[in-house]
Structure 1
Amino acid sequence: MTSTPRADHAWRCALCGAEHRGLAAVFGANAPDPWLMASDEQRALGEINDDLCVLPLDGQTHYFVRGHIEIPVDDPTIRTFSWSVWASLSEANFDATIEHWNAPDRAALAPMFGWLCTWLVPYDPPTTGLQVSVRTREPGVVPLIELQHCDHTLAREQAHGISLHRVAELNSTLLGE
């Protein structure tokens, strides 16, 4: 599947509902996969907002944070392509994240281990379950999600970057063009 970037290309943002022109540089999920797969009854016991999620399932409580996997783009028009994803955290790391969420020193927190909890459709094998490091940044900026070294296309793209053509391919795949 190929696509050529067009200046007149328009798309509707799933978050704000507005129509935008050009290539989208951020795609992502509104919730972690376990939340999306949970029943209404299970979700009623949990909590979710734009950045954080707590979900009791099968006698355990699961903790998630939303962040961005940032991929460098070899093009001056779009320098970074981002996947907005969810990662699991331990209870202790989730508590530390909450405690420092609005603190000016939030970016000083040590990186936290997690598991990627978002299935990114364009990738095979699936992305769910990849090991990640969650790095908090200053308040108002979502955490950076860094894939730990593995032989997965997404990890290679994050480490080495992608072309504008690849951004166009991802847009085409995700927007159904």
Structure 2
Amino acid sequence: MLQHHAHPGPPAVWDAAFADADDCLLSSDQCVIDAQHYVVKGLIEMPVVGSGELFSWGVWVFLSRENFSRAADLWYTAGRECEEPYFGRLTTELLAYPSTTLNLRNRVHIRPVGERPCVELEPTGHPLAVEQRTGITLERVRDVAAGVLHPGGDRGRQP
């Protein structure tokens, strides 16, 4: 199955000033801020209508300290995908949507070692959640890709 990906930058709560702080960390998969906020990177996957392909948004998700610690403890453990999903909230602003994606509630499903977690949004009426449930058209994927590769165009909403 072919996959298309869009990977926004760091979590919305990250500030470059945190880079030198002892109680902050930003890696390609995990983020800790002030030893109080715990974030992991996952994928919101949606089927591309009529194609058998997937489109994925790379997103950052707040987890509780306990769930973040559990995920970190199992990071390199075979069988970790048997974990129950963790409750989370998005901390990635996806400007391709007309309303904010920050704090959308979700479940983070841990997958086998080497794979990013899958983020399952609560089934609300938010356009991102609807696209995850019902699929995204190839034309929409192209529009999103153009907006991600060439930000500042007329696609999506303005910050």
Relative to the length of structure 1, the TM-score reads: 0.78
For structure 1, the residue ranges without an aligned partner over 5 or more in a row are: 1-23
Matched residues in 2 for 1:52 and 1:154: separation?
23
2:135 is aligned to: 161
Matched residues in 2 for 1:128 and 1:165: separation?
25
2:25 is aligned to: 47
Between the two proteins, what is the percent identity of the paired residues?
A: 34
Aligned residues: 147
Q: Deviation digits for residues 26-79 of structure 1, max 9, x if unmatched? A: 1122321101xx351x342201111011111xxx61000000000100243x60
Matched residues in 2 for 1:102 and 1:170: separation?
33
Pick from 123, 144, 152: which aligns with 1:149? Answer: 123
Give the conservation status (yes or no) of the 8 Å contact 1:104–1:138: yes
- Secondary structure of 1:25's partner? strand
Pick from 51, 55, 64: which aligns with 1:90? Answer: 64
1:30 aligns to 2:31 (yes or no) = no
1:115 aligns to 2:98 (yes or no) = no
Which amino acid counterpart does residue 33 of structure 1 have in structure 2?
A: A
2:145 is aligned to: 171
For structure 2, the residue ranges without an aligned partner over 5 or more in a row are: 154-159
Q: Deviation digits for residues 123-174 of structure 1, max 9, x if unmatched? A: 1211011001100000000000011121100000000001111111112222
1:66 is aligned to: 41
Q: Deviation digits for residues 13-37 of structure 1, max 9, x if unmatched? A: xxxxxxxxxxx821122321101xx
Matched residues in 1 for 2:144 and 2:16: separation?
30
- Secondary structure of 2:92's partner? coil
Relative to the length of structure 2, the TM-score reads: 0.86
Larger Rg: 1
Give the conservation status (yes or no) of the 8 Å contact 1:30–1:50: no
- Secondary structure of 1:64's partner? strand
What root-mean-square deviation, in Å, do the aligned CA atoms of Structure 1 and Structure 2 show?
A: 1.6
Matched residues in 2 for 1:50 and 1:172: separation?
23
- Secondary structure of 1:33's partner? coil
Write out the 4+ residue segments of structure 1 that deviate beyond 4 Å after TM superposition: none
